[in-house]
Structure 1
Amino acid sequence: MSDHSVFAPLLPSDHVRHSCSSDGDDNAREPHVILTVDELSTGGDTTNVSEVDDNPYAFIGANRFDMPGSTTVDPFRNNTPKIQGLYEWLKIVVCLPIALLRLVLFGLSLMVGYVATRIALQGWKDRNNPMPKWRSRLMYLTRFSARTILFSFGMGVFHLFFDLQSKPGFSGCSSTFSSIVQTLAHFCAPTSPQLFQLLLLCLSWYQWIRRKGKPAPRAIAPIVVSNHVSYIDPIFFFYELFPTIVASESHDSMPFVGTIIRAMQVIYVNRFSPTSRKHAVNEIKRKASCDQFPRVLLFPEGTTTNGRSIISFQLGAFIPGYPIQPVIVRYPHVHFDQSWGNVSLAMLMFRMFTQFHNFMEVEYLPVITPHENRKESASRFAQRTGHAVASALNVVQTSHSYGDVLLLSKALEANQENPSLYLVEMAGLEAAFHLSSLEAVDFLDVFLSMNPDSRGQVEMHDFLKVLRLKPCNLSEKMFGFIDVQNSGKITFKQFLVGSAHILKQPLFHQACESAFTACDSDGKNYILEQEFGDSLMLSIPGSSNNEIHGLFTLFDADGDGKISRDDFIVCLRRYPLLIALFSPCLLRQIFP
């Protein structure tokens, strides 16, 4: 090793402990950040020193990064979020009276199903075991209510009872209901029963539910996965399969819905809790392995999309290693996109109630089994299943995830002109940087405070303003580190990847601790503004008192006039790019 270099990465202090022992025992026990030397020549290749000089983060081992590829696909965009065109407005006016009838039928069906479910659940305490058969039979009434809800959303009554005839447990009652309908038709339209059928047709919402293929027996495929487009999906599957579902914990508190899904012996999961996710996987495996439980249904995308692409699959359905039957759902349309994307639930329901009819297609795909006697990795199993679903839908599969939904929601809250610009395909970034969705949302909050333009880009002066930095050589290098395209502007994805690249460096936390120790000159475990300013003068010479005070208040989150260790670490985790400010004081600590 030759001369010490500020451009070489930090190493643990024990790597060169022998070289520090001459400073005395006290100094040897202090936490140090040790800068070692990289050879400037390796295998005959010479490092470009000017490139190293322009990298303000080389001292923690952070090289310049390559941006992951991007796609222009927005899998969450509803193509008809607003009512447009004379035809749509006329249709709404014509359908308003019918919509009221549909709403009444919807409400009555929901109430009947809710009451039946409450009766089925009454006194049942052992919910870890399969539901007793007599309680399951009571749930047929709730399943019938679900089918009636779909009818209020649009299948003709005659189609309804024909469909019920084929369902186990319904065959005895459907003929009776059919007789009732025929009697109503006779009395309501003595001269023309077809008129009554026309009224039922107008009441219809899902005029046709076209099926292709059949559900595989539970013994063959105990787990079913489906793409997720609308809130209609789970209603259909509840009626069709009466499965055990995996749902967010927040669904338990939803009126009516929470009670009904409890009867399905729902597996709750908190997507942000590793413990909860692990418990959910164990429950999926336990219930899938027991024939007494219903089959398990999951929507592995974890959120709804517009149906024109498939996003990354979560692994919960694939870790147990059981055969899986994929199912695909489509909602063909011309004037009204029924997907639950960037549109409120109330507006979506209103638009659906005021359509003449809507269409739904359900296709059961061949069962997919794990390779090599379940030795195939869960991620590979998920990839094969995702490819089968995407191929059947004839769409692409992207690396978006629920994290992108959180980013999209944050951008919408901030009234951004084009929220889709802030989608980053979080699944890929999570894998590359072990970056959580909540961390990404925090970085978006910082980026939005930089006042991005209509194209979602931020200029250097806005970047520096939020970080409380003045224009100087170091701050320009910090911006240039993120501006990988040298355009003078940065996008959110560049900011996120650059920040995550710094934050997830193995030596980042050590550098933060050592920087705090270097600034806290007398070891009192907090930093005063004067000490903070003295440290900053090494990296940004000539800073005014106001500029120093601005940065100090950024670190002093609680406003008590001093920066604690926690204040310091939390601020650098929120603004990891600021770690570059402390490289000179770290050097001074090592080479006084």
Structure 2
Amino acid sequence: MEFYPNWCVAGVLAHFRISLHLTLSCGFRALHLSHPSSSANKVQQQRVPPLPRQKSFIPPQIPNPFVHEINLSPLTKLKMLLCGLFILPLRIILFMIVLLVSWLVAAIATCCCPERNEKPFNGWRRKVTQSLISTLGRLLFFSMGFHVRVEGKPASPADAPILLVAPHSSFFDAIAVIVSGMPSSVSREENISVPLFGRILRALQPVLVSRADPDSRKNTIDEIKKRATSGDWPQVLIFPEGTCTNHTCLISFKPGAFHPGVAVQPILLKYPNTLDTVTWTWQGYTVEKLLLLTLCQIWTNVTVEFLPVYVPSEDEKKDPFLYAHNVRHTMAQALGLPVTDHTYEDCRLMMTAGELTLPMETGLVEFTKISKKLNLKWDNIRKQLEIFASIAGSCKGGRIGIEEFARHLKLPVSDVLQELFSLFDRNKDGTIDFREYVIGMAILCNPANTEETIKMAFKLFDVDEDESITEVEFSSLLQSSLGVPDLDVSKLFRDMDADNSGKISYGSST
């Protein structure tokens, strides 16, 4: 999405100088202007106070839930060094023994079975999975120094076919699968190929998601529905956030788990430790470093809390997004955490921002909220990020200042340009971040309002109301409204005057 053509931008800018009331959608800001007189030189300027911002676009309480830093004090480093010398070798040996035994048991349980099972395990295969592998899983976490506390009571598959775990903050969250009685889970198809762990995952008969399959989302939802309503399959455990966060909030829940419209049991994961070495985020330590730091702790506490079964209302059964929203609210209240509308797509935008040499956090826009309220797709926002990167000055830390704003529009810095800039600068810090840029572009330059805005700008230029614009009208109004008496608009006018008639009609301008 680009800015309007220069003449249309100029018309919008000129409206800041006139006093006819015009509101540009959603209560974002009011622009005031009056009917033009017969001469553009009579344009009068009238400043207007800003209207209150729409509350739905207020920045989130947690600006970046995808970053995690670990500060190690000298004493902590000394403790970890001692643990690394005396405890770590023993843990690694025990871990590898238990892992190899688990792999062997899983290989036996899945022998002669395809990767994608059409039927649930029965008989000895199910007993091996739910009893033996579950016990080995507990030993695996014990070998890593985990102390697990369970609160609440797990529901039966009949009462809650689907289990929802949040917040999702670590690869160690797999402990929820073990404590829950080895239910199936939703996993990427590539994970099946991971040495040792892939075979153990197969024993759980997961719902596999293929990123290469364009129908993967639909197929995944259909498979979850089938398992949740059949009565034969084990429970399905899902991390509804879809990606890891720093567990300071609950981000948007994906609706896939809520499409079946069946009862769910929320499960809360907490890591009440003085030093957090388990949180794995997009900006933070790698898997290898976190694993090493965790194994060098004396112990790591984790609490798994089973909340009461959530039975959906009729409205929630019909609307999976409403169902997801309400369950998230229930879990957030139990955790005492705020909620934000970030999602996995924000992480993808973070990676794109990094590729464009912007700070990674630049890409955070609360995708769920922005896409829903402004009707924007990810690809569209991705393109806007590329444009934003070309405008933003590196000295602003990935933000647009008034100088970059003026340079991009090829206009001088003036009072009226400052007014337009202030429409984008929602928090009034003197810069435009990417989130403000996306909101401003969608509201001020939304394709849904293009026709109305262009008509408004055309009428402004047509000072003698003959339904056409001459170069004199075009030039005089721009020079007056922008405060630049020597502004040369001849080339711009000729570009719009396709038939060289010396006039521009509304039809030809659009």
The two structures have a TM-score, normalised by structure 2, of: 0.71
- Matches for 1:68-87 after TM superposition, within 5 Å: 68-74=57-63, 76=65, 81-87=69-75
> Does residue 392 of structure 1 match 2:334?
yes
SS of 1:396's partner is: coil
Partner of 2:110: 121
Match of 2:319 among 367, 377, 392: 377
**CA separation in 1, counterparts of 2:448 and 2:212?**
23
Instruction: Say if 1:589 and 1:226 are closer, same or farther in 2 by CA, change over 3 A.
Output: same
Match of 1:444 among 370, 380, 385: 385
SS of 2:102's partner is: helix
Instruction: Say if 1:65 and 1:309 are closer, same or farther in 2 by CA, change over 3 A.
Output: closer
- Matches for 1:169-208 after TM superposition, within 5 Å: 205-206=145-146, 208=147
**CA separation in 2, counterparts of 1:582 and 1:265?**
64
Instruction: Say if 1:134 and 1:421 are closer, same or farther in 2 by CA, change over 3 A.
Output: same
SS of 2:302's partner is: strand
Partner of 1:288: 228
**Contact 1:65-1:501 within 8 A present in 2 as well:** no
Q: Match of 2:106, as an amino acid?
A: T
Match of 1:89 among 74, 77, 86: 77
Instruction: Say if 1:485 and 1:235 are closer, same or farther in 2 by CA, change over 3 A.
Output: closer
- Matches for 1:273-422 after TM superposition, within 5 Å: 275-341=215-281, 342-343=283-284, 344-372=286-314, 375-411=317-353, 419-420=360-361, 422=363
SS of 1:361's partner is: strand
Instruction: Say if 1:271 and 1:435 are closer, same or farther in 2 by CA, change over 3 A.
Output: farther
Partner of 2:137: 146
Q: Match of 1:122, as an amino acid?
A: C
**CA separation in 1, counterparts of 2:192 and 2:121?**
18
> Does residue 218 of structure 1 match 2:157?
yes
Instruction: Say if 1:274 and 1:380 are closer, same or farther in 2 by CA, change over 3 A.
Output: farther
**CA separation in 1, counterparts of 2:351 and 2:134?**
33
> Does residue 137 of structure 1 match 2:117?
no
Q: Match of 1:433, as an amino acid?
A: L
Instruction: Say if 1:591 and 1:291 are closer, same or farther in 2 by CA, change over 3 A.
Output: closer
- Matches for 1:519-558 after TM superposition, within 5 Å: none
Instruction: Say if 1:354 and 1:219 are closer, same or farther in 2 by CA, change over 3 A.
Output: same
Partner of 2:181: 241
| Superposition deviation, residue 132 in structure 1 | 3.5
**CA separation in 2, counterparts of 1:214 and 1:234?**
18
| Superposition deviation, residue 107 in structure 1 | 2.9
| Superposition deviation, residue 222 in structure 1 | 0.5
**CA separation in 1, counterparts of 2:367 and 2:53?**
17
**Contact 1:114-1:142 within 8 A present in 2 as well:** no
**CA separation in 2, counterparts of 1:381 and 1:373?**
8
Instruction: Say if 1:434 and 1:268 are closer, same or farther in 2 by CA, change over 3 A.
Output: farther
> Does residue 498 of structure 1 match 2:460?
no
Partner of 1:524: none
| Superposition deviation, residue 298 in structure 1 | 0.8
Q: Match of 2:334, as an amino acid?
A: A
**CA separation in 1, counterparts of 2:423 and 2:63?**
28
| Superposition deviation, residue 369 in structure 1 | 0.5
Partner of 2:32: 48
* 1:87-124 Cα deviation digits (max 9, x unpaired): 12101210113223222332333333233323322222
Q: Match of 1:326, as an amino acid?
A: P
**CA separation in 1, counterparts of 2:213 and 2:349?**
19
| Superposition deviation, residue 337 in structure 1 | 4.5
| Superposition deviation, residue 309 in structure 1 | 1.4
SS of 1:395's partner is: coil
**Contact 1:225-1:325 within 8 A present in 2 as well:** yes
> Does residue 109 of structure 1 match 2:93?
no
| Superposition deviation, residue 355 in structure 1 | 0.7
Instruction: Say if 1:89 and 1:316 are closer, same or farther in 2 by CA, change over 3 A.
Output: same
Q: Match of 2:133, as an amino acid?
A: T
SS of 2:89's partner is: helix
**CA separation in 2, counterparts of 1:424 and 1:484?**
14
**CA separation in 2, counterparts of 1:92 and 1:41?**
66
**Contact 2:61-2:338 within 8 A present in 1 as well:** no
**CA separation in 1, counterparts of 2:287 and 2:34?**
55
* 1:242-295 Cα deviation digits (max 9, x unpaired): 112122344344443333333322223368987322221111110011222110
**Contact 1:329-1:362 within 8 A present in 2 as well:** yes
**Contact 2:185-2:237 within 8 A present in 1 as well:** yes
* 1:378-397 Cα deviation digits (max 9, x unpaired): 22222221111111111111
- Matches for 1:256-275 after TM superposition, within 5 Å: 256-269=196-209, 275=215
**CA separation in 1, counterparts of 2:126 and 2:445?**
52
| Superposition deviation, residue 51 in structure 1 | 11
| Superposition deviation, residue 305 in structure 1 | 1.8
Partner of 2:14: none
> Does residue 232 of structure 1 match 2:168?
no
Q: Match of 2:97, as an amino acid?
A: L
| Superposition deviation, residue 444 in structure 1 | 3.0
CA RMSD in angstroms comes to 4.2
**Contact 1:75-1:308 within 8 A present in 2 as well:** no
The two structures have a TM-score, normalised by structure 1, of: 0.62
How many residue pairs end up in the alignment?
429
Q: Give unmatched runs, 5+ long, in structure 1.
A: 1-5, 9-39, 54-63, 154-204, 512-538, 549-580
| Superposition deviation, residue 413 in structure 1 | 5.6
Instruction: Say if 1:103 and 1:503 are closer, same or farther in 2 by CA, change over 3 A.
Output: farther
Instruction: Say if 1:50 and 1:400 are closer, same or farther in 2 by CA, change over 3 A.
Output: farther
Partner of 1:590: 507
**Contact 1:406-1:437 within 8 A present in 2 as well:** no
Instruction: Say if 1:101 and 1:463 are closer, same or farther in 2 by CA, change over 3 A.
Output: farther
**CA separation in 2, counterparts of 1:268 and 1:65?**
43
**CA separation in 2, counterparts of 1:51 and 1:347?**
66
Instruction: Say if 1:293 and 1:492 are closer, same or farther in 2 by CA, change over 3 A.
Output: same
**CA separation in 1, counterparts of 2:242 and 2:159?**
25
**CA separation in 2, counterparts of 1:104 and 1:400?**
40
Partner of 2:473: none
Identity %: 27
User: 345-354 vs 232-241, which deviates more?
Assistant: 232-241
**Contact 2:241-2:251 within 8 A present in 1 as well:** yes
SS of 1:241's partner is: coil
Q: Match of 2:204, as an amino acid?
A: M
Instruction: Say if 1:50 and 1:328 are closer, same or farther in 2 by CA, change over 3 A.
Output: farther
| Superposition deviation, residue 311 in structure 1 | 1.2
Structure with greater Cα Rg: 1
**Contact 1:408-1:423 within 8 A present in 2 as well:** yes
**CA separation in 2, counterparts of 1:582 and 1:88?**
68
**Contact 1:212-1:362 within 8 A present in 2 as well:** yes
**CA separation in 2, counterparts of 1:583 and 1:272?**
45
**Contact 1:147-1:236 within 8 A present in 2 as well:** no
**Contact 2:184-2:207 within 8 A present in 1 as well:** yes
> Does residue 435 of structure 1 match 2:426?
no
* 1:149-194 Cα deviation digits (max 9, x unpaired): 20122xxxxxxxxxxxxxxxxxxxxxxxxxxxxxxxxxxxxxxxxx
